[in-house]
Structure formats: C-alpha cells, structure tokens
Amino acid sequence: MTMITVAGGDLYRLALARYGDATQWWRIAQANGLTDPVLTGPATLTIPALTATDTGGLLDPRT
C-alpha cells in the first residue's frame, strides 16, 4: 500500500499509471471511500497493492 498526494485529475489516469490498467480505478476509490473517479483539489490517497491473484475481471490463464 502506498500513500500519494495529487492535485485534481481522475482515478482512471492514476490507475493506469500505477497498475497499467485504467479500469482498476475502483480499487483506489474503494480504498479511499470514494465513489466518483474525478478528483477536485488536492487529495492524499491510499493506493492499494495488487496481489498475484488480481486479474482485472479476466479469467486467470494460469488456472
């Protein structure tokens, strides 16, 4: 888990930068009690780590 401070923007871009997948924005939202992916003003956010079993809703090809 990581803490970062951002000044506006959106969780889509943040998820893309951190996870390589913009659709994972909800993980950041959930960890911070947010429902809207658009950020207004400065915010300190918790960025949860992805685990080896996180597949982004896709079937895991290893199983």
Strand 2-10 to strand 38-47: parallel, antiparallel, or no bridges (unpaired)?
antiparallel
Q: Give the position of tokens 């659709």.
A: 23
- Assess contact for 7 and 36: CB atoms under 8 A: no
Residue 52 φ then ψ, to 5°: -65, -20
Alpha helices in the chain (DSSP H): 11-19, 25-31
Per-residue confidence (pLDDT) for residue 54, from 0 to 100: 64
Per-residue confidence (pLDDT) for residue 1, from 0 to 100: 80
Sign of CA dihedral 36, 21, 1, 54: positive
Per-residue confidence (pLDDT) for residue 58, from 0 to 100: 57
pLDDT tens digits, 14-56: 999 999 999 999 999 999 999 999 999 999 999 999 876 665 5
pLDDT tens digits, 8-22: 899 999 999 999 999
